[in-house]
Amino acid sequence: MFDTKIAIILRDDLAAWQALNVTAFLTSGIIAQHPGIIGEPYEDRDGNRYNALSGQPIIVLSAPAKLMKTMHARVLERQITVSLYTEEMFSTGHDAANRAVFSQYGQQDAKVVGLALCAARKVVDKITKGAGLHP
């Protein structure tokens, strides 16, 4: 059993391509913040080597826009560093543009479409209260 829990929460009205895109970006942020979660590289029976993956399970949840805003407030209240993706980032094409559009919004007006966190299990459960498993 793990002391921490990784959760990715997606706004429930995203198109499939958006949900997958946001999940990938948010996961990269968690890995950057917690590189120790990466396990050892994989190797198949034939000796072919593959990238290491997370050694810890990741839960993917979904929530309506109002609850996304509430969870955003919950992480900020607890001063937990999270990965955050806003709706406006879909209109950009690279990292610098993402950061530029991201910086134009604050907590009150950010249109959060996804957030990811790695924290103590009970803390993650409190923050994600009300979210359901992603379909």
What are 43's two structure tokens? 């190797």
Contacts of 70 (CB under 8 A, 6+ apart): 130
pLDDT at 1 over 90: no
Residue 111 contacts residue 101 (beta carbons within 8 Å): no
**Range 4-133: architecture per CATH:** 3-Layer(aba) Sandwich (3.40)
What pLDDT is attached to residue 92?
94
Burial of 68 (0-12, 13-18, 19+ CB in 10 A): buried
pLDDT tens-place string over residues 13-57: 999 999 999 999 999 999 999 999 999 999 999 999 999 999 999
What pLDDT is attached to residue 25?
96
- The secondary structure element, H or E, covering residue 119 is strand 112-120
CA-based end-to-end distance of the chain: 25
Single pTM value for the model: 0.93
Percent share of the chain, pLDDT over 90: 97
Contacts of 121 (CB under 8 A, 6+ apart): 2, 3, 4, 5
Give the mean pLDDT of 64-88: 97
